[in-house]
Structure 1
Amino acid sequence: MSALVLAHASRQLPESLAALPQIHRLSSFADRKALDQALRGAKTARRLIVLPAEGSGADADLAAVLTRLMRREQLELPVAYLPAERTPCAKAHALSLDPDRALAEAAVPRPLLRDDDGFAIVGEAAITGPEGGSFYGESIVDDTQLRFGEIGSVVVRATGSAPGLRACARRGGRLGGLAEGILPPKWVEGRAAQTGAAAMRVVRDGVAAPRSRTRITFFRHTEDWLLVP
């Protein structure tokens, strides 16, 4: 089977993958030019195997790959994901993290979560005030209001099945943490989650956006991605 391996430069390849003819090492998956150059080989590959950097940025590496596949209209390419540890994405999809299965297992369609800037999210996104604290605003999922007023944070998670996401809004203020110790925030599933405020900080898969913003929408893309479990 023709497989293209995209591996962070710091990762050691398993023996079964090291023998493959198409291997691209990336010092950063955030380098769009280098990633696009590596993905040119995907035109002849039957599947893509992603080995991200170790640590909290692993899911962001996979999200960068799916973002490029989405924009290049190549989401029909099966993708296997082999992080060094169980990331939020790996947990959401109950991934085996087995390199042999990455080569042989059949791919299954999964909802692709994205935002209105065109970035894919594979694990979770977090919204806070500009300095990381509370903010005043409104957050909704489909037709359900999560919270209006002071909000501690909003968390949006990609899911492995329809409708595509789940989100919760945590209470803000000094009594917010105490109240949630008694009554945890409610998670709501849906196709789209919207949040608006005077200013917000958005963190996608552990990576903070460079600028604050006044609104953001996360929603299920019109096309699924193909995941090798």
Structure 2
Amino acid sequence: MPRSLRGLATISEDAVTESRRVIVVGSRADLAAVLSRLLKADRLDVEVAHVRWPWQARSARTGTATRIPLIRDETGKVIVGAAHWLAPDDSAATLRGEATVDDVVLFHGDVTGVRIEPTTAMPGLRAAALSPRMRPKRWVAGRAAQLGTEGALVVRDGVAGQRPVRRSTFYRHTEGWLSVR
């Protein structure tokens, strides 16, 4: 725990909806879990700061909140860093299907995978098909990214989904979240 945050109360994930400002100390997956909880409770008016390094603690306490786009999927899970659509198992080297960002076809056929990232400005997200070396080829910005496939593993902020899916969508929620910086 950073020294400048030691005097603050520690609350459980269930209690975040009762606060005015929440400081999340941890990974992007931890931040995404808190934002998912706030989304489900319809409490996107709560200011949220993220502290990954000790030098970020002071601005988490005193910084101002700015509303930025909230990117979620069809299950209500939020992404903060990046999401990936990958081949469902090690036996398949590529992902087969079609992905679109708004009305632009991102890929049709086989790719190594797809990376989806939230942006701090509108339209809210960007996505790119990945090269065999897992590098983004061409970024396409939009409000929503959709995938139709024979099977894909969804990885949200480094946390893999429990089972392969045939369809997946990430999109900008109607209301953004209050990011403290």
Q: TM-score when scaled to structure 2?
A: 0.92
* 2:140 aligned with 1:221: no
What residue is the counterpart of 2:24 in the other structure? 50
Question: 2, 7, 10: which one pairs with 1:23?
Answer: 10
Structure with the greater alpha carbon radius of gyration: 1
Question: 99, 110, 125: which one pairs with 1:150?
Answer: 110
- Residue-pair matches, total: 179
Which ranges in structure 1 are unaligned for 5 or more consecutive residues?
A: 1-12, 25-33, 53-57, 86-96
How high is the sequence identity, in percent, across the aligned residues? 42
Taking only aligned residues, the RMSD between alpha carbons, in angstroms, comes to: 1.9
Runs of 4+ that moved beyond 3 A? none
Give deviations 1:157-193, integer Å, cap 9, x for gaps: 011111100000125xxxx55xx99xx6110000000
- Distance apart, 1:146 and its partner CA: 0.7
Task: Provide the C-alpha distance between the structure 2 equivalents of 1:84 and 1:188, rounded to a whole number of angstroms.
Answer: 31
- Distance apart, 1:17 and its partner CA: 1.2
Task: Provide the C-alpha distance between the structure 2 equivalents of 1:226 and 1:210, rounded to a whole number of angstroms.
Answer: 29
Give deviations 1:54-75, integer Å, cap 9, x for gaps: xxxx111100000000000111
Task: Provide the C-alpha distance between the structure 2 equivalents of 1:59 and 1:169, rounded to a whole number of angstroms.
Answer: 22
Question: 68, 87, 95: which one pairs with 2:37?
Answer: 68
What residue is the counterpart of 2:142 in the other structure? 190
Amino acid at match of 1:14: P
What residue is the counterpart of 1:119 in the other structure? 77
Partner SS, residue 98 of structure 1 = helix
The structure whose RCO (Cα within 8 Å, separation 6+) is larger is 2
* 2:81 aligned with 1:81: no
Which ranges in structure 2 are unaligned for 5 or more consecutive residues?
A: none
